[in-house]
Structure 1
Amino acid sequence: MTAPTPLIAGNWKMNGTAASLGEALAVAAQQGGGRARVAICPPATLIQRMSAALAGSAVMVGAQDCRAEEAGAFTGDVSAEMLADAGAKLVILGHSERRAGHGETDALVATKVKAALRAGLEPIICVGETLDQRKAGDALGVVTGQVRGSLPPELAGKAWSVAYEPVWAIGTGLTPTTSEIEEMHVAIRATLRDLFGPEGAGPAILYGGSVKPSNAAEILHAAEVGGALVGGASLKADDFLGIIRAL
């Protein structure tokens, strides 16, 4: 089977207003014909406007979360169908900040993945260990357990990816060694093969721990790293393009 097509996805988190659309347009103006698929996941308030602004470009628009239910009395929540209606093509699910700050379990993430598939969205499913879990020697067990618990069988035959986030590296300036990254990505790949058979070789496994232009090339060329889920560095076009071009 051929190697997965790399994906570089920018997660703007709770940042960005209409004035920020210029950064996305600057990325689109210089992105095309590269090795990777490129996506930007802005706040929900910008999805429709960004989708319109980037129409016809090589940059996809994604979302940062969704509710599992299609509709209902869930004040403040947004369904996968609403995101698709606004123009989103992908959705980040199970991000460490959602797991930690909103108590999201593997089981809940799996229901959201099924909701994304129901709406025709491509899920990016996040997994990752805390510093305490790594220090305790539990990193591999924690992460492969999250993979098994967060990925429903309905993913078979669909487009999706996994993003490995070493939680202790996000926003801290710390970065795992290349060997640590490779060890985890190889373990995730083995788990995907166990769950989905030969099809488990297809989805990209993104790295998502403080990726920036200065370390992107080393990370992106590590074994089984099929792209990146980029946080703060995706907010500025020059930084994000620097990571895209590192492939």
Structure 2
Amino acid sequence: MRILLIEDEEDLGIAIKRLLLQQNYVIDWVTSGQEGLYLLENPNITYNIGIFDWLLPELSGIELLKIIRRQKNSLPVLMLTAKDTMIDKITGLDAGADDYLIKPFEMLELFARIRALLRRNQEIKPQQLKVQNLILDYQINTIKIELKSGKIEIISLTNKEFHLLEFFMRHPQQILTRSQLLDQLWEIGSDTISNVVAAQIRLLRKKLNQYGYGDLIETVYGLGYRLKLDD
């Protein structure tokens, strides 16, 4: 799951990002609404949830929310704010916020609200992603493979392996560059080693190879990688 956090209070931003990383979320943290809008309009990045502070420099969280709703962006958004009057809550919800959390708050409550928004969003989406004989199960982070014998093998995946394979399955037969994979699976500006994509793909291939699918993800030399499907 990838989260966009827009919060200009440095201590709070650091604390939220650190704790969400511990929960295995991919999280991009920026400090202005304009930076947030730039990321949301990047076609190579897909977010599962947004956490917007109300009062932000350049472009407020409410203004940003109105912009993305006009763009028909249905990203679930949790607003963080010190504004606690009924009128403020109505303003936030009417602007398109899905939930509202008043500062100061406990981190446990933040996590609970994030989980609730993610569950609510998943309820209107398929619980599985199927491409030919591959079935990605969102409930338990596994890949089910239907072998030629008809038997179903279930492979447990790490969080990173799951999202990597999901990205390939959402773009079958499409060449995905190293930059595209970095943008989607690692935090913006994260300190990653130069061969991190190749290393992660190698680990995923090794796991798939146990069931005869080691060549499922092919290297297109000089360009990137591609999920190779049967004709």
* TM-score (structure 2 length as normaliser): 0.32
Name the one with the larger strand percent.
2
Computing the radius of gyration over CA atoms, which structure comes out larger, 1 or 2? 2
Larger relative contact order (CA 8 Å, sep ≥ 6): 1
TM-score between both structures, scaled by the size of structure 1: 0.31
